[in-house]
């Protein structure tokens, strides 16, 4: 009986630990908040906010692909939810990703990133696909690489909540006796927002407003000119 209790207690602790890992993490930025599940960041690690509070970024420490012979790849997905503060509107975002690589002999590396943004209210979506602008073929020393792109608001409408999915993959290959190594060290999303203009009343709204003001003015005039009955001649 005691052993059964221990088993049940262990299962309960594991369930609580899993629930804790799956709990959403929210970062309060300037003009928006961003939320992600701790258990789905995988190789990306913890998220941070920039000093300007307009960029959420990750600094992976173990997101890499290595080959000393043959081909290998490392995929990683990241899902974020951006909720824009009242009074502001989404105007686009800039995506940046960078890292470094090392080649020896007949090694080769590559990286590909795909960003899908969706309006949570209308399901309208837009995609951004990125590959390096130049071959990653420098050998003999560690070399930096970077991907960057912009996604505008066109086609997404005016989302108050924006769902963003990043699909990333690092590739490495090498002949026997060679080496291909690539790693990711930074992933960042800079969200652009604009202040929404104050709502302008429709023509029918102006008419109702003017009618109300006129009615209030007439009532006021009647109260001013009314003479008490005891003072009438």
Cβ neighbors of 145 (< 8 A, separation 6 or more) are 98, 99, 100, 101, 111, 132, 136, 182
SS (H, E, C) 19-33: HHHHCEEEEECCCEE
Q: How far apart are CA 128 and CA 211, in angstroms?
A: 52
The residue-averaged pLDDT of 28-35 equals 96
Q: Which residues pair with 144 in a beta bridge?
A: 100
pLDDT of residue 21: 47
**Phi, psi at 43, each rounded to 5°:** -75, -10
- pLDDT band of residue 40 (cuts 50, 70, 90) is confident
The predicted structure's pLDDT at residue 100? 97
Q: Phi, psi at residue 156, to the nearest 5°?
A: -105, -10
User: Which domains occur in the chain, in start order?
Assistant: 22-195 (2.60.120)
Nearest-10 Cα torsion for 227, 228, 231, 233: 60
pLDDT at 59 over 90: yes
Place of tokens 């012979």: 69
CB count within 10 Å of CB 2 equals 6
Task: Give the pTM.
Answer: 0.76
Query: Is residue 118's pLDDT more than 50?
Result: yes
Question: What is the tens place of the pLDDT at every residue in 186-203?
Answer: 999 999 999 986 655 555
CA 119 to chain CA centroid, nearest Å: 12
Percent of the chain with pLDDT over 90: 66
The reported pLDDT for the residue numbered 167 is 97
- Is the pLDDT confidence value at 231 over 80? no
- Tokens found for residue 160: 């108050």
């Amino acid at each position: 009986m005691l052993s059964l209790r221990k088993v049940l207690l262990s299962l309960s602790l594991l369930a609580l630990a899993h629930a804790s890992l799956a709990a959403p993490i929210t970062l309060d930025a300037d003009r928006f908040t961003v939320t992600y599940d701790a258990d789905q960041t995988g190789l990306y690690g913890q998220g941070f906010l920039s000093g300007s509070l307009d960029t959420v970024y990750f600094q992976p420490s173990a997101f890499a692909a290595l080959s000393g012979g043959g081909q290998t790849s490392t995929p990683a997905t990241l899902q974020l939810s951006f909720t824009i503060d009242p009074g502001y509107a989404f105007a686009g975002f800039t995506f940046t990703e960078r890292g470094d690589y090392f080649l020896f002999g007949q090694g080769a590396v590559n990286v590909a990133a795909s960003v899908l943004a969706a309006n949570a209210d209308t399901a309208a979506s837009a995609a951004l696909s990125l590959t390096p602008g130049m071959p990653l073929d420098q050998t003999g020393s560690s070399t930096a690489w970077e991907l960057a792109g912009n996604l505008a608001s066109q086609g997404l409408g005016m989302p108050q909540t924006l769902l963003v999915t990043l699909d990333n993959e690092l590739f490495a290959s090498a002949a026997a006796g060679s080496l291909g190594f690539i790693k990711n060290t930074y992933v960042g999303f800079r969200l652009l927002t604009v202040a929404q203009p104050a709502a302008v009343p429709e023509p029918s709204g102006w008419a109702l407003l003017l009618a109300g003001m006129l009615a209030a003015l007439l009532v006021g005039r009647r109260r001013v000119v009314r003479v008490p009955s005891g003072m009438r001649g």
